[in-house]
Amino acid sequence: MLLTRRRYKTQILVLRGRLQISRPRTSLTRVRNNWIQPLGHDTGLKTYNSLTKQKEPLILAQEGIATWYSCGPTVYDHAHLGHACSYVRFDIIQRVLSRVFGVSVIHVMVITDIDDKIIRRAIEESISPTVLARMYEEEFKNDMLALKVLPPAVYLRVTENIPQIVAFIEGIMRNGHAYATKQGDVYFDIRSIGDRYGKLMGASDLASEPGDTEKRDSRDFALWKASKPQEPSWSSPWGKGRPGWHIECSTIASSVFGSQLDIHSGGIDLAFPHHENEIAQCEAYHQCGQWGNYFLHSGHLHLKGSAEKMSKSLKNFITIKDFLGSYSANEFRMFCLLTKYRSAIDYSDTSMNEARSFLATIAAFNHDAKAYMRGQLQCQAVQEEALWELLAQTKSSFVQALADDFDTPRAVNAIMTLIYQGNRNLQPITKVTSYKYSFKTQLEAHSVNCSGTLENVVEQLARFRTEVRAFALSVEDVPPGVPSHVRPRPHPDRVPLLKACDKLRKDLAPLGVHIKVSICACLCDHCSGCESGVEPRPKSILQTLQINKCKDMK
């Protein structure tokens, strides 16, 4: 929820009161690689800190509370899967902190609603920058909701914080770390902080930022930009203008969290120059040795076969809305869980089908376990003592994996191992000869439980067929550079699998079992593909399977 200025002030006071910012902040100790390990509450977790380039103990200023700031979107266009990957990954980490380790996350996100890109796009569309920004801001929030990303404690717009930004710049200037030019621009003075600049990337790795010839150093970056014709502007002591990109986040994060922040997150592409400059600004303003204690960066999302990250500038992106037309939010979240959040990740139909298969396996196990507990699944004696022991081991492995830099692939593997062992215990007792008798004879001779078991057997068979068919219908990855109108085709070597699935469906029909699949508008159950090559979306077995009794069962 975005706030009016009055509500903004109230919300900030509430958050600051909860964080007890008026009290002295937690002390810092132990210097390593220019990073000072904080004193406070040790969570027992370790996380990779971009400031030290290694895993560090996660120590929070206040027990049970993590202050977290993340850079939100610049709202000038549709959000794409590259954005979604970063937001979903950090949403998973925040859920892990709160639900597994009992840490409440107070998360603040900025919405950049004034920027060069927004202004250019507004001119192209012949609408005001404000209207354009509000439109894409709303779309972004809806996309996050569709992906099941928890909203932050508060979204804050840049344009609603201009007075705070101006005051923040004045504070940096008073401390001797910024200067104004005759044109009305204000720059951060890199030389004034010496070798403290470059904490994330290292001073030798930093490139200069092009700009005004009045800059004292080519690396100096803009805090305030003098107004230009037909651009939105605000009053300031240096004349009308608008804030630079980096100062927005420093101001808003400081206005909520004060002079020390537990966790700052974002995509790896934001490490320089954005996060590097945020650090410099905040430490210059607060006159502190360390503002942010932990910087977490997520890896890029690539289209498989491409070395380039997914981005708007490269025009190689898939919008979130288009993606959700083919896959579900849960499938994308599983896709993200299967790689470490810091790693680059390759997107393809193959990788999405892998995520879909994992979810199908989990859902099938959940269904069978519930059926067993209701007495509807007859199987051999379950080795409960061994399963209880395995469950305890799985819980331990699961927590250990997540405590080690949020290692979700290892955590998922622990769960899948438990499911594999559970499935071995839940194999239903079946006899092939029983199918020689009519369903009517079986129903008359056996109890309701037997009928339930038979239905479960049929469901498992149909589910297996559905998974095989989904695998067979998965399409080949489209190589980079292929025109968008060329659609992917199913793998030709998997056509026999499709024929086998169709034969099974036909063979079951005379036995009174009719499988009706209506998964995709353009892929019927008895075809091996279609011109569109659209990937099918298997629904739950109860939705896609209809068991119709034949006449002699009535």
Do 399 and 257 lie in one domain? The reply is no
Do 330 and 365 lie in one domain? The reply is no
Mean pLDDT of the chain: 83
Do 353 and 340 lie in one domain? The reply is no
Beta carbons within 10 angstroms of residue 385's beta carbon: 8
Distance CA 447, CA 177 (A): 83
Instruction: Identify the domain boundary among 297, 319, 344.
Output: 344
In a domain, 465, yes or no: no
Selected residue with higher pLDDT from 131 and 496: 131
Which amino acid, 317? F
Distance CA 290, CA 39 (A): 13
Do 351 and 376 lie in one domain? The reply is yes
Q: Over the stretch 216-260, which tens digit does the pLDDT of each residue have? A: 999 999 999 999 998 999 999 999 999 999 999 999 999 999 999
Distance CA 463, CA 465 (A): 5
DSSP readout, 68-92?
EEEEEEE-SS--BHHHHHHHHHHHH
Do 161 and 58 lie in one domain? The reply is yes
pLDDT at 13: 62
Distance CA 342, CA 482 (A): 29
In a domain, 394, yes or no: yes
Do 301 and 422 lie in one domain? The reply is no
Distance CA 269, CA 164 (A): 27
As a three-state string, the secondary structure of 11-40 is: HHHHHHHHHCCCCCCCCEEEEECCEEEECC
Instruction: Identify the domain boundary among 426, 449, 473.
Output: 426
Residue 82's alpha-carbon distances to 78, 89, 156, 369, 488, in angstroms, are 11, 11, 22, 37, 21
Instruction: Identify the domain boundary among 344, 367, 401.
Output: 344
Residue 521's alpha-carbon distances to 324, 484, 524, in angstroms, are 16, 21, 7
Do 351 and 282 lie in one domain? The reply is no
User: Tokens for 59?
Assistant: 């120590």
Distance CA 247, CA 30 (A): 29
In a domain, 130, yes or no: yes
Phi, psi for residue 137 in degrees, rounded to 5: -65, -45
Query: If pLDDT is split at 50, 70 and 90, which confidence band does 534 have?
Result: very low
In a domain, 22, yes or no: no
Determine the distance from the C-alpha atom of residue 365 to the mean position of all C-alpha atoms in its chain, rounded to a whole number: 26
304, 10 Cβ separation under 8 angstroms = no
Do 289 and 378 lie in one domain? The reply is no
Determine the distance from the C-alpha atom of residue 4 to the mean position of all C-alpha atoms in its chain, rounded to a whole number: 28
Do 124 and 140 lie in one domain? The reply is yes
Do 139 and 277 lie in one domain? The reply is yes
pLDDT at 400: 98
* pLDDT score of 524 more than 70: no
Alpha-carbon dihedral sign for residues 87, 320, 354, 539: positive
In a domain, 319, yes or no: yes
Residue range(s) defining the domain that contains residue 286: 41-182+192-203+249-344
Q: Over the stretch 258-282, which tens digit does the pLDDT of each residue have? A: 999 999 999 999 999 999 999 999 9
pLDDT at 315: 67
Do 86 and 175 lie in one domain? The reply is yes
Q: Mean per-residue pLDDT for 270-298? A: 97
Pseudo-torsion of CA 320, 322, 326, 330, nearest 10°?
A: 10
Distance CA 113, CA 104 (A): 28
Go through the chain and tell me how many residues it has.
554
Which amino acid, 186? V
Query: If pLDDT is split at 50, 70 and 90, which confidence band does 58 have?
Result: very high
CATH of the domain at 392: 1.20.120
55, 535, 85, 149: which is closest to 345 by C-alpha?
85
Distance CA 303, CA 484 (A): 14
Number of structural domains (the chain) is 2
Secondary structure E strands in 116-260: 154-157, 178-180, 186-188, 222-226, 241-243
417, 300, 302: which is closest to 351 by C-alpha?
302
pLDDT at 358: 96
Do 287 and 382 lie in one domain? The reply is no
* pLDDT score of 458 more than 90: no
459, 534 Cβ separation under 8 angstroms = no
* pLDDT score of 348 more than 90: yes
Query: If pLDDT is split at 50, 70 and 90, which confidence band does 172 have?
Result: very high
Distance CA 439, CA 552 (A): 8
In a domain, 58, yes or no: yes
In a domain, 340, yes or no: yes
Q: Over the stretch 349-407, which tens digit does the pLDDT of each residue have? A: 999 999 999 999 999 999 999 998 888 888 888 888 999 999 999 999 999 999 999 99
Distance CA 63, CA 44 (A): 12
CATH of the domain at 263: 3.40.50.620
In a domain, 6, yes or no: no
Determine the distance from the C-alpha atom of residue 231 to the mean position of all C-alpha atoms in its chain, rounded to a whole number: 34
